[in-house]
Amino acid sequence: FLVNVDGRLQRRSERVQKIRWRRVNGRVFRHFDDVIVGASKRLSRKIVDALAPWPIERAVAYDEKYLTGFEGELYQIDLKDGFEVAKLYMNQVIRSDVLRDIGGDRQEILYLTTSYKNRTFKHLLLPVWVADFKYGGKNYRFAINAVTGKLRGERPYSKIKIFFAVLFSLILWSILFYLANEYGYIFEGNF
């Protein structure tokens, strides 16, 4: 289209997003093998999930000698609740598979049903070293995947450091904005 700018006609174009919706239906098959669900209430699910991957193919039969000198923990989440947690993970993967199968730039899933077949389970003793430390009157827990060495946990945040970082950022942006405005880089069509 044409626009009058300072008495001169200029050609302008504008990108407009057009969406053509179409109905699709179908089936997506996904096989899951060994979805790990941490069955401990002592460690948060977020920490256990972050310690992945777990090399299940290297698992061996349990022997109480493995725990000699160490503290072990029995599972604290029963099988039914553990399966509900596993379904949350599997549903995210299935949903992503469905979106990929539909294709296109935008998709909307109106109805999705999932069936689970050939379910099996096994109890594994995951090799995790857990430690706590106290700082500022609060306990913080961290864990190490004893196979990969991956470390995850909680840590304290310094409110003073956060305050000064935000303050420094605001001052820096204010100076940059002032200089850009003072030297004409903003509000004169260059922005």
What would the pLDDT profile of 99-143 be if each residue is shown by its tens digit? 999 888 888 888 899 999 999 988 888 889 999 999 889 999 999
What stretch of H or E contains 79? Answer: helix 79-102
The answer, as to whether pTM is greater than 0.95, is: no
For residues 188 and 52, give the distance between their C-alpha atoms in angstroms, rounded to a whole number. Answer: 52
Closest alpha carbon to 47 in 109, 117, 131? 131
23 Cβ contact list (under 8 Å, min separation 6): none
| 150-123-49 Cα angle (round to 5) | 30
Read off the tokens for 53: 């991957």
DSSP 99: H
pLDDT digits (tens, 9 = 90+) for 20-70: 888 888 889 999 988 999 898 888 889 989 999 988 888 899 898 988 988
With a CB cutoff of 8 Å and minimum separation 6, the contacts of 133 are 139, 140, 142
